Chains A and B, each alone.
Chain A
Amino acid sequence: MAASESRVCLGVIVGAKGVNGEVRIKSFTEVPTDVGSYGPVESEDGTKTWEVRVVGQAKGVVVAKLKGIADRNQAEDVKGEKLYVARAKLPPPEEGTYYHADLVGLKVVLTTGESKGSILAVYNFGAGDIIEVGDGTTASVMVPFSDAAIAEVNMKDGVVRVEPLPGLFDDGDDDELIEEGDENADDDATEVKNHG
């Protein structure tokens, strides 16, 4: 990992804003403006520390003032810096909720006992959280992070137990379904009448 285990990356400075030393921060927190709510942040190598005061938002980024940065030149010098805080400063997550940082790297085991590697990444494309599971040797698999698919998340042992739903790791009934789809192809396209 880029950071040590005890730190979490809250955002990254993507550029300068204005001439008064304000910076644009791409925030990774659930509420973007919370990037400065967990106390002073430090750089990836731990040599620099800043206090972040959020002053606004613009086009998917947070505009903030960092203590010690007074003009645009200084703001441009810190472009690309990742902002870290100690993991202990973050509040404990609610029941059934987990920090992405805690999930990535956990081992994945099916409820049948078969090992499937580990969690490589966590995504959300608008249809629920998805974990990418893989062992590095075979193609990774996307698993929905839902009660139906995830039987247990054991943080102490570092293991996630996944229910092997049909169609998740195997091909399920695909052969039958693909044939159905192929033979019907476009003629079977249905236009459902809108009675609304």
Chain B
Amino acid sequence: MARSVWKGPFVDGYLLKKAEAVRGKGRNEVIKIWSRRSTILPQFVGLTFGVHNGHKHMPVIVTENMIGHKFGEFAPTRSFHGHTAATAGDKKASPAPAAKKA
């Protein structure tokens, strides 16, 4: 069931403080967070968060399209390497898509 609208979006309070602090510094910084449950707010756009996936912090560059989603949606907690017997070399097999600098 969807969350009631009258409650407003949920976000951990300390996240707002962190974001404000980094904005105040005026330089790029990866904000490490563990709060996967928090909603992405408009004031987070342009910032880079390191969202913990239980193992490490995954960089999440917040864009306008992500507003309203939760941070956890962009840092998967499971990695599927396939059912076949994969070797270390296979992991490096070269997919063709191109990576573009954001």
| A interface list, Cβ under 8 A from B | 1-3, 7-10, 28-30, 80, 82, 90, 93-94, 96-101, 103-105, 120-122, 124-131, 139-150, 163, 165-168, 171-172, 174, 177, 180-181, 184, 188-194
Given contacts A149-B59, A181-B34, 10 further A-B contacts (CB under 8 A): A9-B95, A100-B95, A103-B99, A126-B74, A141-B56, A143-B59, A145-B99, A146-B48, A188-B13, A194-B5
CA distance A97 to B30 in the complex (A): 23
Tell me, yes or no, whether B45 is within 8 Å of chain A by CB. Answer: no
Do B89 and A1 touch across chains, with their CB atoms under 8 A apart?
yes
Contact A126-B100, Cβ < 8 Å, known A1-B94, A28-B95, A101-B94: no
Do A144 and B48 touch across chains, with their CB atoms under 8 A apart?
yes
Size band of the interface chain B makes with A: 35 or more
Do B32 and A145 touch across chains, with their CB atoms under 8 A apart?
no
In the complex formed, the residue of B with least CB distance to A126 is B74
CA distance A145 to B99 in the complex (A): 8
Do A174 and B32 touch across chains, with their CB atoms under 8 A apart?
yes
Count A-B pairs with CB separation below 8 Å: 184
Do B30 and A121 touch across chains, with their CB atoms under 8 A apart?
no
Do A177 and B61 touch across chains, with their CB atoms under 8 A apart?
no
Do A121 and B101 touch across chains, with their CB atoms under 8 A apart?
no
Give the Cβ gap from A134 to chain B, nearest Cβ, in Å.
Answer: 11
Do B99 and A98 touch across chains, with their CB atoms under 8 A apart?
yes
Give the Cβ gap from A125 to chain B, nearest Cβ, in Å.
Answer: 5
Contact A96-B13, Cβ < 8 Å, known A82-B93, A181-B34: no
Do A165 and B29 touch across chains, with their CB atoms under 8 A apart?
yes
In the complex formed, the residue of A with least CB distance to B74 is A127
* Proximity bits, B1-36, A CB within 8 Å = 1, else 0: 000011111111110111000000000111110110
CA distance A148 to B28 in the complex (A): 7
CB under 8 Å from chain A, chain B span 39-86: 39, 41, 48, 50, 56-63, 66, 73-76, 84
Closest 5 CB pairs of A and B: A101-B94, A188-B13, A144-B59, A167-B30, A28-B95
Contact A194-B48, Cβ < 8 Å, known A9-B93, A9-B94, A10-B96: no
